[in-house]
Every structure is written in structure tokens, then in C-alpha cells.
Structure 1
Amino acid sequence: MIRIMERIALDDDELHEDFMRSSGAGGQNVNKVETAVQLRFDVRGSPNLPEGVRGRLERLAGRRLTKDGVLVLTAQRFRTQERNRADALERLVEMVREAAVPPPPPRRPTRPTLGSKKRRLEGKRIRGDVKAMRGRVEGD
């Protein structure tokens, strides 16, 4: 059981890991050892995700979501398989946590009050008077 939040937890058997050879630095190790991890999680088929979280997670996943609703995360940042596994799992947990936060309600626009309109116009009048005083000085 992977605890995401108080009310959300994922079963270990919902996650599927594939290992492959990583690209980048690593010397001979990168050519021999399968250190990269591809983590797959079926978002649409998970019984542990509430409906709202599922929809937000699908939107957050973007191109990492397949047509079947499977989220695919690839981790190859580190040189060891264990650290890449932990990295992929950590990224999945962070995505689910982000999707679990409901969006804020939309802002309802308000109209300015009569007092604020008057204060604004008074400030504009004062500023205009100051600027009007900046002119050529008439000679005596």
C-alpha cells in the first residue's frame, strides 16, 4: 500500500514497472545494466482514486497518458535502478497529491463602490492641478 494522502492510497499491484537501458552518462555501466525505470499506472482503472482526482490527474498527465488511460512515467536520472524506481514513484505520488487538491472557486467580479470612485476622481483632479501648475512662468 502506497499512502498518498489520508483518504487516498494505491495498491502495489496497481503499479507496473519495466526496466530498460538508460541513455546518457554512465560509461560501460550504461551499456550493460538496465537502470532506467518505466512506471505504469492505470488511472482510469484504479478503484482507489475518487472521480474528481481521476479527472484532474488525467489533465495533469497530458502526453504521459495513453489512450487507454495509463499514466507512463520514465525515470533515468540516476545511475542505479533503485534510485530511479524511487524517483518514478515519488513523481507519481506528487502528481496524485497535486490532482487531489480541488481547484479554487471562480472569482466573482465586483463593482467599485461609490466611495472608491470618488476617491479615484479626487486623486486624478489633484494630480491634474499639480501638472497644470508646471507651465511657463509669465513675466512681470
Structure 2
Amino acid sequence: MTPGFVVPEAELRERFSRSSGPGGQGVNTADSRVELSWDVAGSPSVPEWLRSRLLARLGRRVSGGVLTVAVSTQRAQLANRAEARERMASLLRAAASPPPPRRRATAPSRGSVERRLSAKKRRSQTKRGRRLRSDE
């Protein structure tokens, strides 16, 4: 995320449930689906300026101030847990990154304006040459 910003392990909540994905014969007995949740709005480890940026950038992914990531792509619960943590980390990294610098507005150069106008005139003359004349 940002230098010095770490989500403490104690603030993460994991919930396990039956996965609808791969699993073979053990699919009905293994709780391999992982839901990893973190309370962004109530976390004491997040600075206030970063909290507002995270909540704004995560948008609809946050429900009631809590970010939840669900993973059920792997057969093993351990692999799903690792993937859920990686997905959450990449989401938080992207949301915490500083905004790009603002674009400074510039006027078109004189040469680009002249090129555009001359191209329009050429096109206009081409089309005018294709018209049928009424005096013929």
C-alpha cells in the first residue's frame, strides 16, 4: 500500500463456506470458499487522510465500511486464503495510490490549427467536385 501502512492480522476476519467451484468428491464436505473482510471505516491503523481516499476509491466494493473479498477458485482452503489476501492487498494498493497529476490545459498550436483547416478545405473541395451541377 503506502510506506508504513500495514493492515494488522487481528483486523482481518475470515469466513469459510461451501464452494460451488472445483472439488470433486470432497466438494460437499470441504468449506474451501473464503470470505476475507476488513473494516476500512473503523480501522484504527489507517490514517484519516488515507481512510477517505480508500473509501472513495473502493466505492461499491465497500458495504457498510467493510471491504469483503470472496475467493473460491482453488480446491484447497489454504490456497483460497492466500489468494484472498493477495487480492485484498492489490485492491488496497490501487486504492491507496496517489491520484495522477492534473492535466494542464494547453491551446492548440498555430501549425496544428492551420493543418486542420487546410485539411477541411481540401475535403470540402473534393466533395464540391463530386456534386452534380444544375446548369448541365
User: Under TM normalisation by the shorter chain, which class is it?
Assistant: 0.7 to 0.9
* Residue 75 to residue 133, structure 1, CA distance change in 2 (3 Å): closer
The total of aligned residue pairs comes to 132
* Residue 84 to residue 125, structure 1, CA distance change in 2 (3 Å): same
The residue that corresponds to 1:30 in the other structure is 27
Q: Which runs of 5+ in 2 are unaligned?
A: 131-136
Shift of 1:52: 4.2
Out of 70, 74, 88, the position equivalent to 1:78 is: 74
Identity of aligned residues (%): 45
Q: Confirm or deny: 8 A CA contact 1:60 1:95 kept in the other structure.
A: no
Out of 12, 15, 32, the position equivalent to 1:15 is: 12
The residue that corresponds to 2:86 in the other structure is 90
The residue that corresponds to 2:41 in the other structure is 44
Looking at structure 1, the residues matched to 83 and 68 of structure 2 have their Cα atoms a distance apart, in angstroms, of: 13
1:95-106 correspondence runs (5 A): 95-106=91-102
Shift of 1:63: 3.7
Looking at structure 2, the residues matched to 53 and 114 of structure 1 have their Cα atoms a distance apart, in angstroms, of: 44
Q: Which runs of 5+ in 1 are unaligned?
A: 135-140
Q: Confirm or deny: 8 A CA contact 1:15 1:41 kept in the other structure.
A: yes
For the residue of structure 2 that corresponds to 1:46, the secondary structure is coil
Shift of 1:50: 3.3
Using the TM superposition, name which of 99-108 and 85-94 deviates more: 99-108
RMSD of Structure 2 on Structure 1 (CA): 2.7
Using the TM superposition, name which of 125-134 and 23-32 deviates more: 125-134
Tell me which amino acid in the other structure corresponds to 1:89.
R
* Residue 49 to residue 132, structure 1, CA distance change in 2 (3 Å): same
Q: Confirm or deny: 8 A CA contact 1:53 1:99 kept in the other structure.
A: no
Shift of 1:12: 0.8
Q: Confirm or deny: 8 A CA contact 2:23 2:75 kept in the other structure.
A: yes
Q: Does 1:53 align with 2:50?
A: yes
Shift of 1:71: 1.0
